[in-house]
Amino acid sequence: MALQCPECGAISHARSSFYEAPSIKRTYYQCKNLECSCTFTALESVDTIIARPNKVETKDETSSEQSEKSAHILGKYGAASRLSNRQQIPV
């Protein structure tokens, strides 16, 4: 994010930032104009929530559904995921 420098009007860029509260962030900016090099802070906060996400309730999966999914995932990469004889760990 970039802001105009309050001193000369040139573009300034964000150097660092941290959250002061869950919805308030303080950002340190520095002017890109080498003759100015003004350093300043700005606060960014949540003003209005326009739309909230829809919360969808999920069903609890049974153990049979989970085992089917894990079996499908285990075979996903086939023989390419197995170690060759040279790559085997000595016992």
pLDDT for the residue numbered 13 = 93
Is the pTM here over 0.85, yes or no? no
What pLDDT does residue 90 have? 66
Domain boundaries defined on the chain = 2-45
Distance CA 16, CA 36 (A): 19
| Number of other residues whose CB lies within 10 A of the CB of residue 15 | 11
In the block, residue with structure tokens 């170690």:
83
Residues with Cβ within 8 Å of residue 29, at least 6 apart in sequence: 3, 5, 12, 13, 14, 15, 39, 40, 41, 42
Q: What is the pLDDT of residues 52-84, one digit of tens each?
A: 888 887 766 555 555 555 555 555 555 555 666
What local confidence, expressed as pLDDT, does residue 50 receive? Answer: 92
